[in-house]
Amino acid sequence: MQPVRDPAVPDFVKQLQRIDTYNEIKEIMTSPDFMMAGAEERTVFLEDTLIMSEGRRHSELKELFSPLMSRQAMVYYELHLVEPVIQTVIAELKGRPDADGKVRLDAVELTQATLTRISATVTGVDSVDTPERTERFRRLVLTLSEATTGSFSKAPVAEVIGKGREAMAALVSEYLQASLDRRIALTRRHRSGEIELSDLPRDMLMSMCLKDDLSRPDDGEKIHYVWRQCALFLTGSIKTTSHSLPHVFFHIDEWIREHPEDRAKLVDPEFLHQAAAEAFRLHQTSPARFRAAVKDVTLSTGRKVAKGEMVALHAPIANVEAQTFGPDGRYFNPYREVPKGMQPWGMTFGLGAHSCLGRNLVTGIQNKGDEKHGTHGTAVRVLKALYELGAALDPDSPPRRADSLHDHFETMPVILHNL
């Protein structure tokens, strides 16, 4: 079993005050004396979205979108969306046996294809319903996603942002505009009494149409407000989980090799919940997060942060610190005892007002399986579907990490042995 290593960070992060202890980061992330901050691209693509807004505006957006992530919505998504999509994508990918008769697929490709369709539905994007349309949509969203964190790219930031703008324009012309137009028409029909509210789509764009919250006066000067909201939902839904889920598969493979007595648990949802949460703790999508002080602040530790100063929160380091998670905090252990009052994934999904709104869709409600009501989450459902097919890493084609400051795999070839 290999320990996780500290992530590399770009040079601009090294110039900021570094904060890498769990308690200090928690104090900052839950304090009203700090606001969201980041590099230029965060404003370009995500200005006035849930992740970048503060105070009353943040509360308004959270109230608007929270119903999409309620328990009732989770049940609906998992039973009517997540499981069917997973099975459809697996069927498409496993229908290509190799010359030796074995079926191989890429766990990264599977995860991205599955999440692409799920996130499209939650966002309100129509016609992502064929392998070709899904692949085109996936590539555009991943390009946009790379641009929203361009400062962590090894390519020139201006180039990455430029490609992101092009991807956003293509998403609008090929997918988003038609989807929005349809929902505007549905809103009119609902208000005229032709359609019941319960018969309308349950998605972000539909929510914005019903709220008449589709534009801003300065839309002509920047990426339109409604498309920025789409950018957040699409990139947040796909990037975080598609980066993290292959790590779960990789760590479980390591664990089973050292603990073969747990092999029978590969299709046990409870074990998969524990394993997924532990892997999420060890791997975060970004090597640092940023906050800016709204006034001069002295933390409980005595650390001082000046008004307007942006600090770098090295959350991946805090998430493995021995003081909080034990001397083996850098190692994968699905049976780890979680400190009281703390989530098993630490701060991977954020803390405070800016905690990830869609976390329940990934982890299930309370990170526990619920066969009756369907709240396992996408992570456990994807893993269980793979292990039921006898998925295992391909010994002749090892996983390859991406050449990026983000902690993720580029490929993860697996063989399905139970077909």
Which residues, 6 or more positions from 248, have their beta carbon under 8 angstroms from its beta carbon?
A: 275, 276, 279, 280, 379, 383
Report the percentage of the chain scoring pLDDT > 70.
Answer: 97
Mean pLDDT, rounded, for 171-193: 98
Q: Give the least confident one: 4-13, 88-97, 115-124, 377-386.
A: 88-97
Examine the pLDDT at 398 and tell me if it is beyond 70. yes
How far apart are alpha carbons 415 and 417 in whole angstroms? 6
Backbone angles phi, psi at 192, to 5 degrees: -90, 0
How far apart are alpha carbons 304 and 301 in whole angstroms? 9
CA atoms lying within 13 Å on the CB side of residue 360: 19
- pLDDT score of 281: 96
- CATH number of 393's domain: 1.10.630.10
Examine the pLDDT at 229 and tell me if it is beyond 80. yes
Closest CA to 228 of 40, 39, 38, 42: 42
Examine the pLDDT at 370 and tell me if it is beyond 70. no
How far apart are alpha carbons 136 and 131 in whole angstroms? 9
Using CA atoms, how far residue 212 sits from 43, 208, 345, in Å, is 23, 6, 37
Secondary element (H or E) of residue 235: helix 225-258
pLDDT band for position 337 (50/70/90)? very high
Report the percentage of the chain scoring pLDDT > 90.
Answer: 64
Mean pLDDT, rounded, for 267-295: 94
How far apart are alpha carbons 273 and 364 in whole angstroms? 9
The verdict on residue 4 lying in a domain is no
Place of tokens 């400190």: 339
The verdict on residue 401 lying in a domain is yes
The verdict on residue 1 lying in a domain is no
The verdict on residue 223 lying in a domain is yes
Mean pLDDT, rounded, for 192-202: 95
- Give per-residue pLDDT as tens, 242-261: 888 999 999 999 999 999 99
Examine the pLDDT at 374 and tell me if it is beyond 60. no
Examine the pLDDT at 136 and tell me if it is beyond 90. yes
- pLDDT score of 237: 79
Q: Give the least confident one: 175-179, 406-410, 411-415.
A: 406-410
Domain with 337, as residue range(s), is 11-416
Neighbour-count burial of 231, counting CB atoms closer than 10 A to its CB (0-12 exposed, 13-18 middle, 19+ buried): buried
The verdict on residue 36 lying in a domain is yes
Higher pLDDT pick, 42 / 158? 158
- In this prediction the pTM is 0.91
Closest CA to 401 of 116, 1, 134, 4: 4
CA atoms lying within 13 Å on the CB side of residue 124: 29
The verdict on residue 297 lying in a domain is yes
Mean pLDDT, rounded, for 47-72: 90
Higher pLDDT pick, 338 / 193? 193
Mean pLDDT, rounded, for 43-63: 91
- pLDDT score of 170: 98
- pLDDT score of 371: 59
Task: Name the residue type at position 308.
Answer: G
Query: Which stretches of 172-214 are DSSP H helices?
Result: 177-191, 204-210
Examine the pLDDT at 335 and tell me if it is beyond 90. yes
The verdict on residue 6 lying in a domain is no
- Give per-residue pLDDT as tens, 91-117: 876 667 788 888 888 999 888 888 888
Domain count, the chain: 1
Mean pLDDT, rounded, for 283-299: 93
- Give per-residue pLDDT as tens, 304-314: 999 999 999 99
The verdict on residue 3 lying in a domain is no
Catalogue the long-range contacts made by 81-90 (C-beta closer than 8 Å, 24 or more residues apart): 81/118, 81/121, 82/118, 82/378, 82/381, 83/374, 83/381, 85/114, 85/117, 85/118, 85/121, 86/114, 86/381, 86/382, 86/385, 87/385, 88/117, 89/113, 89/114, 89/117, 90/385, 90/386, 90/389
How far apart are alpha carbons 372 and 191 in whole angstroms? 35
- pLDDT score of 361: 86
Which residues, 6 or more positions from 91, have their beta carbon under 8 angstroms from its beta carbon?
A: none
Report the mean per-residue pLDDT for the chain: 91
Task: Using DSSP, state whether 407 is helix, strand or coil.
Answer: coil
